[in-house]
Amino acid sequence: MVLPDNARMAEQDPLAAAARAAQLRETLHHHAHRYYVLDAPELPDAEYDRLFQELQALEAAHPDLLTPDSPTQRVIGRVLDGLAPVRHAVPMLSIQTETDTSAAGALAFDARVRRELALPEDAPPVEYAAELKFDGLAINLRYAAGVLVQAATRGDGETGEDVTHNVQTIGQVPLRLQRPQDGLQGQTWPAVLEVRGEVYMRRDDFEALNARQRDKGEKTYINPRNTAAGAVRQLDAKVAAQRPLSFFAYGLGDVQGWPEGQEPATHAQLLDRLAAYGLPVSQDRRVVQGAEGLVQFHADMLARRDALPFDIDGIVYKVNSLALQKQLGFKTREPRWAVAHKYPAQEQLTLLRGIDVQVGRTGKLTPVAKLEPVFVGGTTVSNATLHNLFELRRKGVRVGDTVIVRRAGDVIPEVVGRVATQPGPRQPYVPNFRLPQQCPVCASAVVRERGGMDHRCSGGLFCAAQRKQAILHFAGRRAMDVEGLGDKLVDQLVDGGIVRTLPELYTLGVAKLAALERMADKSAANLVAALEKSKATTLARFVYALGIRQVGEATAKDLARHFGSLDRLMDAPLDELLQVNDVGPIVAQAIRTFFEQPHNREVAEQLRAAGIHWPEHEAALGPQPLLGKTLVLTGTLPTLSREDAKALVEAAGGKVAGSVSKKTDYVVAGEEAGSKLAKAQELGVPVLDEAGLKALLAGGG
């Protein structure tokens, strides 16, 4: 690790080390808050990493400087034997649930509050704080002198479980409270402050987690709520750290000694105070007047529910005045001053009537469940994805089963499992579902890459289901570079039956294009000119434009360089393909499968007949000073963009990698080079500037 001069000096001088460590902790806490809570980072990731590594090095050299609130303590290595019980100083009680999802639920709560307060009919409306009911796991965070000392689950309300080691891994949970920027003098926060809140998982994080699980062939998770709850209760913090958890604060537990002038008078002020301490508080909250305000907030959030980045299952209403909350008190174990007003469930049971196969834009075959229609997540669902054959088999789902269907937000409805004990009479045996061997759209062979989870149609240039995707890829800037051929125009061309295959693009005329909606004569003429211009290209661009599975830009260049002609590439056997730089068995088989489909070869020939051309053997003739070399680019170069530098390296036969290792030949570093430069220096990898790169490209290395 390469440290700046002040860090090296601090390693030797204990006083300087202590001052530098304190400064680093303060800086890292500030930027973590900007990143995780405010979503407004001020620092590049590489610079944050550099400061973090500097603090790690200082703490390693001076173990006495290590503090519980140090940012380096977020991921703890120890594995617990079990979760220790925690007795709550203030019980974590549940609140009453209003299951009537109509406006009547809000009206009933307001009527109860007014009755308990003995308000006359002509009294002013009661002021309420309305907020979201998050679908996660309730957590109590205990801060002593502003430092997080314990995190515990709700448990039975009286006793929970100590999950501090896992909650410390959640970036949004501050290890040390922030000093409020409100001008208040004296003590900054209560001596003891217990913050109640919810650990949850965002929908996009949950979908990405399941996608990673599917790619690895491992089990997927049913819903974000259960996944978050399971992560929080892990014995190994490293497992929790791998789950993308988030947190919202919404209330208090034990509080000992509010600083003078800081004790809130309302629930809304309380949430503002928690936000000032650096805790994440949802902005989707509102202070409203009376029942009408509650009804309006409930309706507004229902309309926005699908657009929220996380799951909610309702709204929570609280009397805003803390004095009135105290006056209302509790009924049994539920506060009279709060209620949860539910929304329709996002998971339901229904009958699986059949399984169809859908071919996506990229050729992926997806089994789709045909369901007995069921109302879930605010809409009627009759189709739901089963993702792939292997996940379907893991879930043990068969036609005739009662299944769990989930729909949350704009996520495609999915079958997440079957009911183990099926209601009703036992269904007759149904054999396991099998995917077809030929594409149901174009009859091309269905293939699955070795070790992969997905089955795909191999007729990429021919299959109607993949037509739009094939055209957009073909016309892309790094492929044939047809300017003006974007999504909306491709939709018109394909949906209108004007273009059915790639070669038909080159038969388009100005009159036919100008007749399309929102297409002027000038735009039509420009597109025709762009298509004509694209005919003069390179073999590498053309090969990439064909959209062969597993063949990206770099591989297309390697193929063009090795074979020098399209005919040689199309006829190349597997053993010759394997001789190409960085082409392994999976890539070689994908290329072979593509060109074994007669219609793919025919489309390639028709494109050549339409006038697409390139200099024969041009790719194999140029000098290759970097052949077999691997380079890593980092930082900002004086005159070359990252993309331009990469193109020059690849044109010279080199490969550009994303990370530094012992196999890296050179690191090219510009301004603000980050951890990659430090890694290169640590491993002894030669480091070049832009001038050094140009000398290398010119053969002067």
Q: How far is C-alpha 505 from the chain's CA centre? A: 36
User: 690 Cβ partners below 8 Å, 6+ apart?
Assistant: 637, 638, 639, 640, 645, 668, 670
Measured over the CA atoms of residue 150, residue 151, residue 152 and residue 157, the dihedral's sign is positive
At position 576, the amino acid (one-letter code) is E
The answer to whether the beta carbons of residues 256 and 274 sit under 8 Å apart is: no
User: 161 Cβ partners below 8 Å, 6+ apart?
Assistant: 83, 84, 85, 86, 152, 153, 155, 233
Q: How far is C-alpha 457 from the chain's CA centre? A: 27
d(CA 383, CA 380): 9
* Residue 539 dihedral angles phi and psi, to the nearest 5°: -60, -40
Buried/exposed 389-414: b ≥16 CB within 10 Å, e otherwise: bebbebbebbebbbbbbbbbbebebb
Beta pairing, strands 666-669 & 687-688: parallel
Residue in 544, 576, 578 with CA at minimum distance from that of residue 560: 544
Q: How many CB atoms lie within 10 A of CB 353?
A: 13
SS3 of residue 159 by DSSP: strand
The answer to whether the beta carbons of residues 632 and 676 sit under 8 Å apart is: yes
The answer to whether the beta carbons of residues 291 and 106 sit under 8 Å apart is: yes
d(CA 185, CA 182): 9
d(CA 597, CA 547): 14
At position 161, the amino acid (one-letter code) is E
The CA angle 294-299-302, to the nearest 5 degrees, is 125
DSSP, res 466: G
d(CA 173, CA 166): 11
Which of 133, 318, 395, 557 is catalytic? The answer is 133
- Would residue 133 show up in a list of annotated catalytic residues for this protein? yes
SS3 of residue 377 by DSSP: coil
Residue in 541, 571, 538, 573 with CA at minimum distance from that of residue 556: 541
At position 608, the amino acid (one-letter code) is R
SS3 of residue 286 by DSSP: strand
Q: What is the 3-state secondary structure (H, E, C) of 509-544?
A: CHHHHHCCCCCCHHHHHHHHHHHHHHCECCHHHHHH
Residue in 361, 397, 402 with CA at minimum distance from that of residue 547: 361
Beta pairing, strands 347-359 & 365-376: antiparallel
Give me the residues paired with residue 655 across strands: 630
Give me the residues paired with residue 384 across strands: 369
d(CA 328, CA 635): 61
d(CA 174, CA 74): 10
Structural tokens at position 534:
């694209």
d(CA 316, CA 454): 42
Give the residue numbers marked as catalytic: 133
